[in-house]
Every structure is written in structure tokens, then in C-alpha cells.
Amino acid sequence: MTDWTSGYVADIDYTHDFFRELAPTHLGFCALSQGHEHGLNRPGMTYCELGCGQGFSANLLAAANPHVEFHAMDFNPAHMVGAANLARDAELENVHFYERSFEDFGDAPGLPQEFDVIALHGVYSWVSKEHQQHITDFISKRLKPGGMVYISYNTLPGWAPVMPLRRVLTNRADQGAGPLDQRIKEAMEYAQQLSESGAGYFAGNPAAAKRLEQMKSKPANYLAHEYFNKDWTPFHFEDVAADLSQAKLSFLGSAEPRDHVDDASFTPEQQALIQAESDPVQRESLRDVLLNEQFRTDVFMKGKLQHTPRGSVAAWFATPLALTRQPSTGPITLSWRGRDTVIEQEQFGPALKALEQGPMTVRALLEQGAFGAMPWAEISRMLTLLIGEGYLAASLPPEGLAERVERCRAFNAAVAKRSEESESLQFFASPVTGGGIALNRFEQLFLLARSEGRKTPGDWADLVWQILAPQGQRLQKDGRVLETPEENLAVLRVRATAFAARRLALCESLGLTLEPDEETAQHNSAAA
């Protein structure tokens, strides 16, 4: 009997994460930022996620984009059962899950013949060369002309010093007995002993010792899928580009907007080296060397069409933006790639203040004078950095907002109900941005309490304590577990009050509240 896992970790479930790079609105912005046209605003769009893990991202995106049909596959049946259960509880009809391998996914009944987007996060590094070929074959056959692929993967040269550490860990875990999580724990302890013994490898590779220290804070399910698969390949960019060229794909750019602004990442001397490299593939490889890159988030297209200068500006003007993070009152210092970029309050303040009222197009912000006399090149640069840093997000148009609000409300309610027992789901779906917004367990439960008619932050805290207390769960403060109900309630009330003051208005603007709220939908439509 063959091993159905093909060496991929299956006895520990993957994490329930959302990655903004998967959102169609974000991918569309990345194309716009690089000066390219895209078809992600067309009706009848189809989206496929390969190796979707727990399916949480696919479910969230389906809720926030009811106009898109989502198809997601994973080889792990437990993952697919959980994903389908969440889709059912959230009343989602536009997401379909398939328990399939990469080899036989193309034969799945009901699968569309072509997709506008095919996405895979991290998976390419964790499967065999044979499965990598199945992936590129699928993309070649199923991606529409003009379609987009998002692919992320471990990268060289950044991973080179750490590869022996990974081998030490997997060898040790393979020698052990018992559940994988226990073998991972023992392997970590063994690697730490090696480091403390003065092993020359760790002494000569500070990056390995640093990585081992970082790994200590990660949960076992993350470590298992990140480091302990049988197949584990960090790639040079040019090798991935060569693989995808088989499917007629060409590189568009990074799915990280801050990487679109060279002076945010590179010194003037490094920028000169990049500009002197004429070959686009070698230019990306050079960037990886300059950055010692460890992980890439790339966007490829099957047939790129460059905007004309006028068309590019027009596309920018038509882009709706939403505020997703409340800025401080002083300048914003963006720290990226070891470099700091400062944006002054007078540059960004008026625009972010206007967006507090709800989403607006770039054109509307310009018409309000939100950018003053700033030249267009500086405006687009600033907006790209603010989106990359998470202060803003490219958003969906006002058409269809009412349906999106209802779909997201049902999804977010299903997530909040799960938060009564677990903190594994950390995102709500936004009908405004078409993506996910991070909310911790307490924030979700505060919104749940509010939707049940509890008016004050004190009332929200009371409900949360009623959920936690029977489960024997307690909060911590200053490193001490709080034992009495009075202590726990006091901390919960402080948190609820802070949430009401600092984040509630933003949640309302982004459509994250759980109660049916026609006024919010109408307000956002008018603002957009």
C-alpha cells in the first residue's frame, strides 16, 4: 500500500491562517502598482487555491467576494472536512473543496476548465519534484490567458545557512518514537543542546542560532509543516521562473507592495546595481542576493499587458481605498528590510482623515485636496507604502456591497462562535476590502456580545467571562495567572473599553460588526 501523504506531514493539522496576498483586491493592486492591466474586476471570475490547508483563507475570501467562485483543494481529508463545515455554518455557496492530490485534481468533477487566479502559498517548497511538475502542468492547462498566479516559497540564499539545522531536526525526529509533536519537541531540545555545547556550525552561522531561537515560540503544527516534511526545497528565483515559463507565465512582481519601492529596501549603491542589470530574471536574483532573501511572494501572469501612462493613472484614480489601521498623530516610520522610511503627518494625515469616514477612490481623495500639492509620483509611492504597511487596503467597488455585508456577517458570526472555545481563527472577513482583518479572540467575542444586544464594554466583558469561566480559562497579567473572577473581569473590562475606544469605529467602517446593519452598508456605499 502506498503512502498517501507522499512524505508530507499529515498527523498534525496545519494552522488556520489568512494571508492578504491571496485576496483578489490585493493581487489587483500589485498588478496596478507595477503598471500592468489585470482582469480581476470582471464578472464571473473563478479562483483556485492549490494546497489550501485548513481552507480558512478560501472560506474567508468566498464570504468577502460572493461574486467570485472559489475552488480549493488539499490532500488531507481532515482539512477538507473542517473547511466544508465552516462553509456550511457560514452559509457559503460560492466555495467548493476537493480532497485530492495535485496529480488527480484536474479530474475532479465540477471543476471549471479555466481560472482567472491560481494561488498556492508555501506549498511549492514542501512537495516533491514530481508534484511540482503536476502543479505546473495544472497551471498550464487551467489558467486563462491574462490570468494570474500567486506563488510563495522558501528562497535562497537566505535559507542556505539554516539548511543543516533543518536536517539535524528532521533526522532527530525520525529517530524518535511517539507522536510527531513530541518528537519535534525532543528534536528542538537536542538542537539547543548542540548550540549550547559550542558546536562549530552554530558558532560559524549566527543565522542558524537565531532561527532556532525564533522556532521556540512557534506552535508544533506550524513547525511540523514548515520544517518537517520529507520534501523541503528553498529555490533560487530563476529556477521557479523557469518552471513557470513552461506554463507561458512571466514574472509580474512581488505580492508585497513595499518591495515595489526600491528606496524602501536598498541603498543608492544597491539601486544602481539593480538598474544596471538588464535581464529581468537576473535582476530579481540579484535582489535576493542583496537582501539575503528567505521567502518570496511572487505574482506571475499568463500574458502581461502594460498600461499606457495615461491608462495607469486612470486605473489608480478608479481604485477604492479603505483605512485598515489607525495611525498615530506623529509621522509614520515604516521599517522594512532593515531600512526606515519616514512619511510626515502633513503628507498622509489629510488622506487618512478623509478615509475615516469610509472608503474612497483615489480620485475622490484628490478632488478633496487630501494630497495638497504633492506630485503624482510621490502620491502613488506613499499609497503603495501605506498599503504595504497595512494602514490602507485596496478595496472593492460599492456595487454589490449589501450582499457582501450579509455574506461576511454570516461568516464572521460562525468564526466568532468558534472563538467561544478556541483562539485558532484570528480573522474576520471585510465586505469593504474583500480580504481579512485580524481580530483576536477577545475582540471577536466583544463584537459577538454587542450583536446580542449588550450595550456597554462592561457588558461585553461580562459575557466573555461567562464563556471563559466554565472552561477553566484564566487571563494573565504581568506574567501572573489571574485566579479570582474579580481580577479576570477587571482585565476584560479594561480590554473591552480600549477596544471600544480604539478599534470599534474602524471595525464598523470595514463592515466587521455582526448585527444586521443596513445603515453601515448604505454609509459605506455613499462614501465609496
- What is the per-residue pLDDT for 2? 41
Architecture of the domain defined by 20-157+234-257+291-301:
3-Layer(aba) Sandwich (3.40)
- Rg of the chain over Cα atoms, rounded to whole angstroms, equals 24
- What is the per-residue pLDDT for 3? 46
Which residue matches cell numbers 513547525?
223
**Beta strands 427-429 and 339-343: pairing type?**
unpaired
- What is the per-residue pLDDT for 7? 44
Cell numbers that stand for 356 in this block: 475615516
| Chain mean pLDDT for the chain | 90
Q: Is the pLDDT reported for residue 291 higher than 60?
A: yes
- What backbone torsions phi and psi does residue 336 show, to the nearest 5 degrees? -150, 130
C-alpha to C-alpha distance for 475 and 440, rounded to whole angstroms? 14
**Beta strands 115-121 and 68-74: pairing type?**
unpaired
- What is the per-residue pLDDT for 150? 98
- What is the per-residue pLDDT for 155? 95
- What is the per-residue pLDDT for 15? 60
Which residue matches cell numbers 493581487?
27
Mean pLDDT of 401-407: 97
Angle between helices 180-196 and 163-175 (to 10 degrees): 130
Residue 221: pLDDT band with limits 50, 70, 90:
confident
Q: Is the pLDDT reported for residue 283 higher than 50?
A: yes
- What is the per-residue pLDDT for 380? 96
Beta-carbon neighbour count of residue 368 at 10 Å? Answer: 13
Q: Is the pLDDT reported for residue 377 higher than 90?
A: yes
Question: Residues 101-118: pLDDT tens digits?
Answer: 999 999 999 999 999 999
Q: Is the pLDDT reported for residue 518 higher than 60?
A: no
Question: Residues 201-210: pLDDT tens digits?
Answer: 988 888 888 8
Residue 223: pLDDT band with limits 50, 70, 90:
confident
Q: Is the pLDDT reported for residue 239 higher than 70?
A: yes
CA-to-CA separations, 228 to 111, 180, 184, 202, 205, in angstroms, rounded: 31, 9, 8, 20, 21
- What is the per-residue pLDDT for 245? 96
Q: Is the pLDDT reported for residue 371 higher than 60?
A: yes
Angle at 156 between CA 154 and CA 157, to 5 degrees: 140
Q: Of residues 226 and 441, which shows the higher confidence score?
A: 441
Q: Is the pLDDT reported for residue 517 higher than 90?
A: no
Beta-carbon neighbour count of residue 80 at 10 Å? Answer: 20
CA-to-CA separations, 482 to 207, 222, 474, 488, in angstroms, rounded: 38, 29, 6, 6
Cell numbers that stand for 431 in this block: 465586505
Residue 246: pLDDT band with limits 50, 70, 90:
very high
**Burial class of residue 279 in the structure, from the number of CB atoms within 10 Å of its CB (0-12 exposed, 13-18 middle, 19+ buried):** exposed
Q: Is the pLDDT reported for residue 527 higher than 90?
A: no
C-alpha to C-alpha distance for 524 and 249, rounded to whole angstroms? 37
Q: Is the pLDDT reported for residue 13 higher than 90?
A: no
Q: Is the pLDDT reported for residue 199 higher than 50?
A: yes
Q: Is the pLDDT reported for residue 386 higher than 90?
A: yes
Beta-carbon neighbour count of residue 54 at 10 Å? Answer: 23
438 bridge partner residues: 427
Q: Is the pLDDT reported for residue 528 higher than 70?
A: no
Per the CB < 8 A criterion, the answer to whether 92 and 62 are in contact is: yes
Residue 10: pLDDT band with limits 50, 70, 90:
very low
C-alpha to C-alpha distance for 300 and 134, rounded to whole angstroms? 18
- What is the per-residue pLDDT for 188? 87
Per the CB < 8 A criterion, the answer to whether 123 and 98 are in contact is: no
Q: Is the pLDDT reported for residue 445 higher than 70?
A: yes
Per the CB < 8 A criterion, the answer to whether 408 and 428 are in contact is: yes
- What is the per-residue pLDDT for 523? 46
- What is the per-residue pLDDT for 184? 87
- What is the per-residue pLDDT for 205? 87
Which residue matches cell numbers 480532497?
99
- What is the per-residue pLDDT for 158? 92
- What is the per-residue pLDDT for 430? 98
Mean pLDDT of 21-35: 97
**Burial class of residue 248 in the structure, from the number of CB atoms within 10 Å of its CB (0-12 exposed, 13-18 middle, 19+ buried):** middle
Mean pLDDT of 149-174: 91
- What backbone torsions phi and psi does residue 309 show, to the nearest 5 degrees? -55, -40
